[in-house]
C-alpha cells in the first residue's frame, strides 16, 4: 500500500476520535475538558485505548502524561516524539490540542499499514494541563516531563475546585512527589526531536487558502494573572483633581499598552498583549461610585528573548507612570513565564519537503500562541511545529478545523517519519 493510500485509510480513525473527544468534552455552548479532571482523564483513556488497538506500548509518567510508543529496532536510540494536549479552556473548541494528538496517532497508524519499521522508538504524547486557565500556569505536563515545573506550582489551586495541583495529579494517577525542578521525567538524551501539530490561532491560513503552515517559532510570554490597582472609593461627583480612580488607572494602563503594541508593530517587531480580566469588584461597584479598586490580568508575548525582556522593562515603566499620574498603587502580583520556542531550521526544511512529497501546500508562519513544543525547544531538543488551518481562532466554541486539513498534517508527519525515523 502506498503511503498516501495508507494515510487516507486513517480518515475514519481521525474523524471518529475527534467525535468521541467532542462527546467527552461537551459543555454547551462549547467544549470543556478540565485539566487533571474527569473529562481530561476520560480523553486520555480513550486515546490510550486507541493506541493499544494500534499495537503501541502505553505508559504514564509521574505527571500522568500519556506516552504511546511504537517500538523501533534500536530501543536504546533517542526516540522521535510527536503530540500535544487533550485539555481545553472552559467552553472552548474541540481541536485546540486534541488535533495534534490525533494527527500523531494517525501518522503512526498509516506507516504501520505500509509495513514500515522505524529504526528507533516513535512516541505519541498526550501532555496534561497545557492550558493556563486551570492553575494559573500553562504547559504543566510538558514542564514536569522536562524538569521545568517550579516546585511551588504543585501548590497552585485549580480555578474551579480550589484543590491543589498535587492533589489533582494524584487523583489522575500521577505521583506529584516525584516531580521536581531539574529532575526530568524524560531521561536526558532520550529524545531526538519533538514534533507538534496544532490549529492556528489566527485565520492566516484561511486567508492564504492553504491547509498547513510550517511554524517558524513560538513566542515566549510573561503573565500576571492578578494585577491589583488600589485607589480610593469616592462619590461620583468628585472633581477629577481629587480622584484616585482605580478603574481609570486600569483604562490608562490598557491604552498605554495598546500604544506600545502599535509602536512595536510599526517598527516590525512582532508582539502581542492581552488583558483577559478587567473589572471593578463585583461585590462593591455601583453606578454612582468612583471605584477605589480594580483587577486585571496581563499576557505579554514576543518571539525573541531580548525583545520580551525589553517589553517587560517598558511594562514596568508604564505601570509607574500610570500609578503616578492617577495617584494609585499598582501591584503586578505573581509572575509566570514561558520560554521563547525557536523551531529548528533543519526540521522546518524537512517538514516542508515531506509536505511537498504528499502534495500538501504549505507556508512559513510564526505561531501566535505558546505550545508544549516551546518547552522542548527551551530544553535544547530540536523542535518542529505544524499549524493547521482554522478559520475562527481558538479558545472558543467556533473552532473550525476541517478533517481534511488535519489529514494533511498526518500525511506530512508520516512522510517525515518514513524518511527520518
Question: Annotated binding residues, as ranges?
Answer: 85, 96, 131, 198, 395
Secondary structure letter of residue 74 according to DSSP: B
The three state secondary structure string of 152-218 is HHHHCECCCCCCEHHHHHHHCCCCHHHCECCECCCCCCCEEEEEEEEECCCCHHHHHCCCEEEECEE
Pairing of strands 383-388, 191-199: parallel
Largest CA distance in the chain: 79
Helix (H, G, I), strand (E, B) or coil at 55: coil
C-beta neighbour count of 74 within 10 angstroms: 12
What residues are designated binding site for Zn(2+)?
Answer: 85, 96, 131, 198, 395
- Buried b / exposed e over 299-330, threshold 16 CB at 10 Å, is bbbbbbeebbeebeeebeebbeebbeebebeb
Grid look-up 503586578 returns: 332
Helix %, strand %, coil % for the chain, to 5? 40, 25, 40
Query: Which of 335, 391, 404 has its CA nearest to residue 132?
Result: 335
Phi, then psi, of 415 in degrees rounded to 5? -65, -40
Angle between helices 38-53 and 11-25 (to 10 degrees): 160
Beta-bridged to residue 214, according to DSSP, are 364, 386
What sections of 267-344 are H helices per DSSP?
Answer: 305-326
Element at 356 (helix H, strand E): helix 345-357
CB-count burial class (<10 Å; 0-12, 13-18, 19+) for 255: exposed
Amino acid at each position: 500500500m502506498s503511503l498516501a493510500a495508507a494515510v487516507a485509510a486513517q480518515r475514519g480513525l481521525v474523524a471518529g476520535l475527534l467525535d468521541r473527544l467532542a462527546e467527552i468534552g461537551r459543555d454547551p455552548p462549547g467544549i470543556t475538558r478540565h485539566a487533571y479532571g474527569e473529562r481530561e482523564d476520560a480523553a486520555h483513556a480513550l486515546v490510550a485505548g486507541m493506541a493499544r488497538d494500534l499495537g503501541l506500548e502505553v505508559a504514564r509518567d509521574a505527571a500522568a502524561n500519556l506516552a504511546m510508543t511504537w517500538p523501533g529496532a534500536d530501543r536504546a536510540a533517542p526516540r522521535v516524539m510527536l503530540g500535544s494536549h487533550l485539555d481545553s479552556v472552559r467552553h472552548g473548541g474541540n481541536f485546540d490540542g486534541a488535533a495534534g494528538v490525533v494527527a500523531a496517532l494517525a501518522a503512526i497508524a498509516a506507516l504501520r499499514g505500509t509495513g514500515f519499521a522505524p529504526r528507533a522508538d516513535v512516541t505519541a504524547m498526550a501532555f496534561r494541563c497545557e492550558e493556563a486557565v486551570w492553575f494559573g500556569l500553562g504547559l504543566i505536563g510538558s514542564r514536569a516531563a522536562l524538569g521545568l515545573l517550579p516546585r511551588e506550582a504543585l501548590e497552585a489551586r485549580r480555578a474551579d475546585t480550589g484543590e491543589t495541583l498535587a492533589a489533582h495529579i494524584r487523583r489522575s494517577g500521577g505521583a506529584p512527589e516525584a516531580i521536581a525542578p531539574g529532575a526530568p521525567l524524560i531521561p536526558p538524551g532520550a529524545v531526538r526531536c519533538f514534533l507538534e501539530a496544532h490549529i492556528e490561532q489566527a485565520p492566516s491560513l484561511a486567508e492564504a487558502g492553504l491547509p498547513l503552515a510550517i511554524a517558524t517559532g513560538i513566542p515566549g510570554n510573561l503573565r500576571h494573572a492578578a494585577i491589583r490597582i488600589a485607589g480610593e472609593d469616592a462619590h461620583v461627583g468628585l472633581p477629577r483633581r481629587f480622584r484616585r480612580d482605580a478603574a481609570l488607572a486600569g483604562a490608562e494602563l490598557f491604552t498605554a499598552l495598546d500604544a506600545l503594541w502599535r509602536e512595536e508593530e510599526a517598527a516590525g517587531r512582532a508582539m502581542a498583549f492581552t488583558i483577559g480580566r478587567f473589572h471593578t469588584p463585583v461585590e462593591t461597584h455601583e453606578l454612582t461610585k468612583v471605584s477605589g479598586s480594580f483587577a486585571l490580568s496581563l499576557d505579554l508575548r514576543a518571539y525573541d528573548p531580548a525583545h520580551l525582556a525589553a517589553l517587560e522593562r517598558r511594562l514596568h515603566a508604564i505601570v509607574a507612570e500610570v500609578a503616578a499620574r492617577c495617584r494609585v498603587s499598582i501591584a503586578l502580583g505573581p509572575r509566570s513565564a514561558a520560554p521563547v520556542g525557536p523551531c529548528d531550521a533543519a526540521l522546518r526544511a524537512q517538514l516542508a519537503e515531506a509536505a511537498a512529497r504528499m502534495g500538501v501546500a504549505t507556508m512559513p508562519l510564526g505561531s501566535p500562541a505558546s505550545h508544549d513544543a516551546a518547552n522542548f525547544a527551551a530544553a535544547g531538543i530540536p523542535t518542529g511545529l505544524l499549524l493547521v488551518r482554522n478559520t475562527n481562532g481558538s479558545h472558543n466554541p467556533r473552532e473550525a478545523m476541517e478533517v481534511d486539513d488535519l489529514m494533511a498534517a498526518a500525511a506530512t508527519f508520516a512522510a517525515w517519519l518514513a524518511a527520518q525515523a
